[in-house]
Amino acid sequence: MYKTSIRGKLIEGDKSLAQISTDILAPIDAKTPKWWYVAMTVSLAMFGWGLYCKYITLSQGIGTWGVNNTVGWGWAIINFVWWIGIGHAGTAFSIFLLILRQKWRTAINRAAEAMTVVAVACAGLFPLLHMGRPWLFFFVFPYPNTRGPLWVNFNSPLFWDFVAISAYLLISASFWYFGMVPDFATIRDTTKSKIKKAVYGFFAFGWVGSSKEWLRFEALSFVLGGIAAVLVVSVHSIVSTDFAVSVEPGWHTTIFPPYFVVGAIFSGFAMVLTLVTLMRKLYKMNDFITDSHVDAVCRILIFISLIMGTAYLTEIFIAWYSGSEYEMFTFFHNRITGEYAFQFWAMFTCNALVPQLFWFKSVRSRLWVVFIISILINIGMWYERFNIVITSLTKNYLPASWAGYSPSIIEIGFFIGTLGMFSAGVLLFFRYIPMIAVSEVKSIAKFNEEIQPNEDH
């Protein structure tokens, strides 16, 4: 039973099912807007610069980066963790909210899933290039080889990483794609262009929407969703063990796996919010992405931000409580104060304090404020990874080996390249794929009627 008088409407404007299809699919058949070309050009320019930096890295080596013997992990690993984190939102939205029966997720999950696939692809580039000799990438596969006893190190989290991330990419891409099949079929059936009919028809796998197909479709989503839910937790837990299994001060701490998972979902949701506010503004999807959608995402963000804040405080408290001078040095002299204080406080402010503004309804209902805060969270989460990676590495046990770190122009360019790749991917998604899952939105359309009778069991 769903009472709209209490719960509010999921779709505004009393739409019929046909109208829902037309409204959501409109941008695909419409003429490409001017801003799209502008944004695409900028994205491709960024992407191009990234390509150039990759070329330099490949042709001249890792020496072109700012990393050194002490700080062996620089921006590359920060960006890797950051992108992977963002890539968690799609699954978090699709699966966790599905399990929690949050009907409003249907308007947003497609965008979140699309974002996941692009973000994970961006993330994968960093470890690949950081290898120094990426053409020997296949060495990480555990396959029988002629290199003698040299074998992948099953004790190494870097190998676990490889397994977890490739599995995650595979599953989330399939999940995203199979979810789109019914919508592709809708486009195939409604479009007037012959080319589009052929292309979307090809991708629709001959979907006709029979009840048998729907049954299989739902069973498949359930199975893929179940696997992806586990992967979301495992991927970022394993990313955290890249750090936590070492004995570096500031890295070796037992809270890392859940703390990373929560952080990932936090940054992912923030990025979803960024995208969704853009979608709403640029494509006028107000009827589907309503104020209460934005409100709900904001509420989730406060909750997660509280967890993040508690985790930061726990870490700081235990650093003192442990009595370990190295931990205390790392936290109190190298993070909270000292050379990297700015990065620490940027992280703390953006992740733990600023989202608290969402407690106020007036903040949650102002789209531009929400947009700005979502960007700040993304920045804050980037600084969190900076904090973890750089502060622990620059100054650890042996003062003689302390070193500074600043990124070279090549590293920065590489990162900007992935930003371009991400926004280009998102723009293509806006243009060629139904950005809201039409069939899923239709499934909640019935909740707009006043009362749903239900048999009791």
Binding site for another protein (CB under 8 A): 1-3, 6-7, 99-101, 233, 237, 241, 244-247, 252-258, 299, 303, 306-307, 310-311, 313-315, 318, 321-324, 359, 454-457
CB of 239 to another protein, least distance (A): 13
Phi, then psi, of 97 in degrees rounded to 5: -75, -25
Among residues 249, 255, 343, 369, which one has the least CA distance to residue 307?
A: 255
CB of 415 to another protein, least distance (A): 29
How far, in Å, CA of 401 to CA of 411, rounded?
A: 23
How far, in Å, CA of 175 to CA of 441, rounded?
A: 17
CB of 250 to another protein, least distance (A): 11
12: left (phi over 0), alpha (psi -120 to 50) or beta: beta
Query: Which one, 337 or 452, has the nearer CB to another protein?
Result: 452
Locate tokens 């930003």: which residue?
419
How far, in Å, CA of 112 to CA of 250, rounded?
A: 32
CB 254 within 8 A of CB 237: no
CB of 431 to another protein, least distance (A): 35
Query: Which one, 291 or 315, has the nearer CB to another protein?
Result: 315
CB of 328 to another protein, least distance (A): 9
Query: Which one, 68 or 292, has the nearer CB to another protein?
Result: 292
Query: Which one, 47 or 168, has the nearer CB to another protein?
Result: 168
Q: Residue 248: enclosing H or E segment and its boundaries?
A: none
Query: Which one, 311 or 377, has the nearer CB to another protein?
Result: 311
CB of 364 to another protein, least distance (A): 13
Phi, then psi, of 204 in degrees rounded to 5: -85, -5
CB 104 within 8 A of CB 443: no
CB 414 within 8 A of CB 78: no
CB of 284 to another protein, least distance (A): 27
Among residues 433, 448, 441, 438, which one has the least CA distance to residue 199?
A: 433
CB of 182 to another protein, least distance (A): 22
Query: Which one, 216 or 361, has the nearer CB to another protein?
Result: 361
Q: Other C-beta atoms within 10 Å of 230: how many? A: 14
CA distances from 404 to 19, 26, 264, 274 (A): 59, 53, 27, 34
CB of 452 to another protein, least distance (A): 9
Query: Which one, 378 or 391, has the nearer CB to another protein?
Result: 391
Q: Which residues contact 384 (CB under 8 A, 6 or more apart)?
A: 263, 347, 351
CB 20 within 8 A of CB 113: no
Among residues 61, 64, 82, 65, which one has the least CA distance to residue 74?
A: 65
- Residue 217: burial class (beta carbons within 10 Å; 0-12, 13-18, 19+): middle
Query: Which one, 197 or 333, has the nearer CB to another protein?
Result: 333
Query: Which one, 23 or 161, has the nearer CB to another protein?
Result: 161
Query: Which one, 101 or 192, has the nearer CB to another protein?
Result: 101
Query: Which one, 4 or 166, has the nearer CB to another protein?
Result: 4
CB of 255 to another protein, least distance (A): 4
CB of 321 to another protein, least distance (A): 6
How far, in Å, CA of 235 to CA of 231, rounded?
A: 6
Radius of gyration of the chain (CA): 23
